[in-house]
Each structure stands twice: as structure tokens, then as C-alpha cells.
Amino acid sequence: MQNILGEALATYNTDKIKWCREYMADMRSIVLKKFDAISAHVLEYIENQTKYTPEELKEIKNNTSTRKTDSNIRPEFFLVNTSSDLKLGIYGNIAGKAQLHKFVEFGGIACKTPRQYGN
């Protein structure tokens, strides 16, 4: 799409420039709607992401070198999924302790990430 827009800009084809910009705006809108729907679903069923599996609980109980945690809840989760038209990753930190965060801005979107991931 950017190549088509670039050619249209180079040849001063205003109709094609307008079409390209409208098409890209429509595609961004679709991606945003998909992101919103996926995020809403993950957050609605957050307890499914934060529960340890029975195998993980057994491993935690047998491992004496693990740090103190609530034995039923994961302190964080990271989901990555890919479909034919979209790749999405979601990081969730639900630990009870306070963490230092770094402010990150990209593409008009701003967020805070845990310091260890924000560098």
C-alpha cells in the first residue's frame, strides 16, 4: 500500500492519493477494533490467564528456591497469538508489589512498561 501511495505522490495522482489514504485509515480502524475486542476478551477472562495449571502448582510446591508468591496466582503473564491477518502480544503484570515503570511512546500511543522491559 505504501508503494502505491508513493507512486501516486510521485505522479501527483490526487485521486489515487485520496483513495490510498482512505484505505489505510479503514485498515487502521479495523486493526484497532480487533485489538479492542481481543484486549476486552483477555481482560474479561483475566482469571484464566492468572491461574497456575495443576502441573505448575505442583512444580512450585516442590521447588523450595522460588521466591514468595501467592501460590494460586501468577504475578504476570504474556500472551502472543497470530492469525492469518494479525499478530498480537499482551503483557500483563498483576503482581501486588509496586514496580518502577518507564514511560514509552510509540506511534501516537503511550504506555508505561515495567522498567526491566522498557529499556
Q: For 45-86, write each residue's pLDDT tens digit.
A: 777 778 888 888 888 777 766 555 556 777 777 777 777 876
d(CA 85, CA 108): 22
Q: Confirm whether 12 is domain-assigned.
A: yes
Q: Confirm whether 97 is domain-assigned.
A: no
Question: What is the predicted pLDDT for the residue at 11?
Answer: 94
Is pTM beyond 0.85? Reply is: no
Q: Confirm whether 85 is domain-assigned.
A: no
| Count of domains for the chain | 1
User: Structural domain of residue 11, as residue ranges?
Assistant: 1-44
- Residue 58 amino acid letter: K
User: Given pLDDT bands bounded at 50, 70 and 90, which one contains residue 118?
Assistant: very low
d(CA 20, CA 55): 51
What are the tens digits of pLDDT across the range 9-36? 999 999 999 999 999 999 999 988 988 8
